[in-house]
Amino acid sequence: MGIHELRAAAGLFAHLLAMDVVPWHGVLGGVRITEEDTTSSSRILMKVMFQEMAEQLGVWVLGRRMNDDDNPVVRDALFPRDKAENTRFAINFFMAIGLGGITEPARKILSL
């Protein structure tokens, strides 16, 4: 899959998620943002997807949905809590793509 196809797929997923057409836990619940569970291509797809969702929803709403205590499947997949290094990797990923504001809850967990 080329970069244009990745961007198109990411845009489609972002739109479907932002409009609540598909359930967040069904799509994002299986996405673990760790070094072992991602590839450069999947990180590009997620980068574009989350940036598009931030544009459509706003960073505050996106962060609230990603860190929802009522939907821990999504929260724990995007910000894995099994090992501190996995949590740090996810935090660094979102910081690197310009969405550091959504990492605050995960950063609080690391500081405990």
Per-residue pLDDT, 112: 67
d(CA 61, CA 50): 12
* DSSP at 34: S
Q: How many helices (H) and strands (E) does the chain have?
A: 7, 0
> How do residues 21-56 score in pLDDT, each as one tens digit?
999 989 998 899 999 999 999 999 999 999 999 999
Total structural domains within the chain: 1
The pTM assigned to this predicted structure is 0.92
d(CA 41, CA 6): 8
> How do residues 8-28 score in pLDDT, each as one tens digit?
999 999 999 999 999 998 999
Nearest-Å Rg of the Cα atoms of the chain is 13
Residue 22 · residue 16 · CB < 8 Å:
yes
Task: Provide the residue range defining the domain that includes 96.
Answer: 3-111
Per-residue pLDDT, 71: 79
Backbone angles phi, psi at 29, to 5 degrees: -65, -20
d(CA 12, CA 48): 10
